[in-house]
Every structure is written in structure tokens, then in C-alpha cells.
Amino acid sequence: MTKVSYLGKFPIVGIGASAGGIPAMEGFFRGLPARPHMAFVIVTHLNPARQSLLDEVVSRYTEMPVLVAEDGMPTEPNHVYVMPANAILTIKEGRLQIRRPDAANRERKPIDIFLGALAEDQDEHAVGVILSGGDGDGTLGAKAIKERGGLTLAQVSDGSGPRNPDMPQSAISSGMIDLALPADRMGERLVAFARAFRVPLEETKNGAADDRLEADLQRARVEICALLRSHSGHDFSGYKSKTFIRRVKRHMQILQMPSVESYIGLLQRDANEVTALFRDLLINVTNFFRDTDHSRLWRTL
């Protein structure tokens, strides 16, 4: 599959919500600017009657166009897409894909299914957001996004939500969530994450700024590996260079680190960040959805 060049892409944010999801989405979208330079795709468990009105409800909370997803619809930045009722939603080459569920497959995990497809299609440009809801849907999808170098967020209580904490808490307990925040505080972190992808293109048309960051990380790799080894006893010096640098860059984006030196300084001061980077580097990208019932459904779409 031919993918769009790095500098031409933008984050696509998959939002999973279930019971209590409407207030959570209100907080989420009210916390975003009118043009956040991302696309948003909402996948829910809501009953069909409520789902059919979800686009109208969400449009009250944002100035972005809110559309009901259609098969083959391209995702565009500064747009919101809502999964239609009685549908399974995936994505391929940036276009939304819709299938009707098989009547024999009553047990569905629509959030896991979409986030898994998003991870495979968008790699480090994929973002998974788990809002209020019951059961553990979204946990495996968040794992897939994290394995591919994307960003994961889950809602935590701020006194007004989540109304149903099971779904975000399941994701947080898995250790696959980068940022656990109240819904209304997610927007500022997502905007900073999206800006990190645009900076190289805005600063220079030939991507020299990104090249400098790559070169700085290559030079700093020995020092970062030494910090990891002293903390964990694990030697990452033989780790695949491209993957190592991509995952360090991802942490710098999440933490809004202005330079490699500042990130190394954080590693020297904060054992929790060393542990977080260590865990990211150990993630096995081959076991997503292994031996799960809905993996077979996702793979056949």
C-alpha cells in the first residue's frame, strides 16, 4: 500500500464512547479550537435511535463540519465523522470503510475494530481516545495504536465524568495509555501533538528541521541507551535504529520536549519516563488481536 508522505499527513483521531459518552464528547470538543488540523472519527455503542442523532448533537459542540460516515468517504482535517447505526467502521488509505454486521456476530467490539484498522492504516499519525463507557472495548485498539507509534488517551474523572468509567479504566489498566486526562483537557494536548507534525513543513519546505532532529537523536542514542540500561539492565544498542528513533520522537512529541537535550535531561531526572520509554520499546507489534474472536471479524473486512 502506497502511503502519503510524512509531511503531507495529519493525525486521525478515533474516539470511542459508550454509556455516558455524550457529556464526555461535549467536554472533548469544546476543548478544541475550530481548526485543530486533525480529523476525528466517533465510534460508539449507543443504541440506533441515539446514534442516528449523534451528528446533530456533536455539531452543537464544535464549529467543524460533522458528517455521518459513508463508505469510501475520505477523511479531511478539521472534520468530524460519526459512525452510522448498525455498521462496522474501518479505514483504509485514509478512506472510511463501512460494512454491515453479520447477524451471527452479535458480540461486536466496534471501537477495537476501528482503532485496530486506524493503527494499521495511519501508524504514528493514529490517535485513540477512550471516553466514558462500559466493558473493555477500546483497550485492544489502544494497544494497536501504541504498537504502531501513535498516541493514546483515556478519560479520567474531574468531578464531572466519566459517568461510566469501565471502558477508560480498562484501557488505563492495560498500560497502553499515554495520557489519562479529563475530557475537556485532551484538546490542548492533541493540538500540540498535531503541531509537532506540521513544524518541519512550516519551518522549511525540504524538511531540514526534521532531519536535524533525526541526526540529534542518532547522536544521542548511545546516551539514551545507557540510561535505559542503567535503569532496566536491558541493552537497546542493537535495537532497530528507525524504530528506536521513532519511539523516542513519539515520547518527545507527547511531552512537548523542545530538544533532544531537554528530553535526555528528563530521563536523567524522572525514572517514570525511563520506564515508560522502556515499555514502549519492548512492545511486540505481532500480537495485536491474537486469538480473539473479533480479530477474525476485523481481518475479514
Residue 108: the pLDDT is: 75
234 is catalytic: no
Residue 296: the pLDDT is: 44
Residue 198: the pLDDT is: 65
CA distances from 63 to 25, 30, 69, 79 (A): 14, 9, 18, 9
Which residue(s) pair with 89 in the sheet?
98
- Catalytic hit among 45, 112, 121, 184: 45
Other CB atoms within 10 A of residue 224 CB: 20
pLDDT in tens, 180-206: 999 999 999 999 888 877 654 444 444
Residue 83: the pLDDT is: 94
- Catalytic hit among 18, 121, 178, 184: 18
Residue 131: the pLDDT is: 96
Confirm if 217 and 62 have CB atoms less than 8 A apart.
no
Task: Provide the 8-state DSSP code for 7.
Answer: G
Residue 299: the pLDDT is: 46
pLDDT in tens, 278-288: 988 887 544 44
R_g of the chain, CA atoms, integer Å: 19
259 is catalytic: no
- Catalytic hit among 55, 121, 137, 178: 137
Rounded Cα gap, residues 282 and 239, in angstroms: 10
What's the predicted TM-score (pTM) here?
0.81
Residue 50: the pLDDT is: 55
Longest dimension (CA), the chain: 57
User: All 3 cell numbers of residue 64?
Assistant: 467543524
Rounded Cα gap, residues 84 and 81, in angstroms: 9
Rounded Cα gap, residues 194 and 209, in angstroms: 16
Confirm if 81 and 96 have CB atoms less than 8 A apart.
yes
79 is catalytic: no
Residue stretches of the chain with pLDDT short of 50: 1-7, 200-206, 285-301
Residue 167: the pLDDT is: 94
User: All 3 cell numbers of residue 124?
Assistant: 504514528
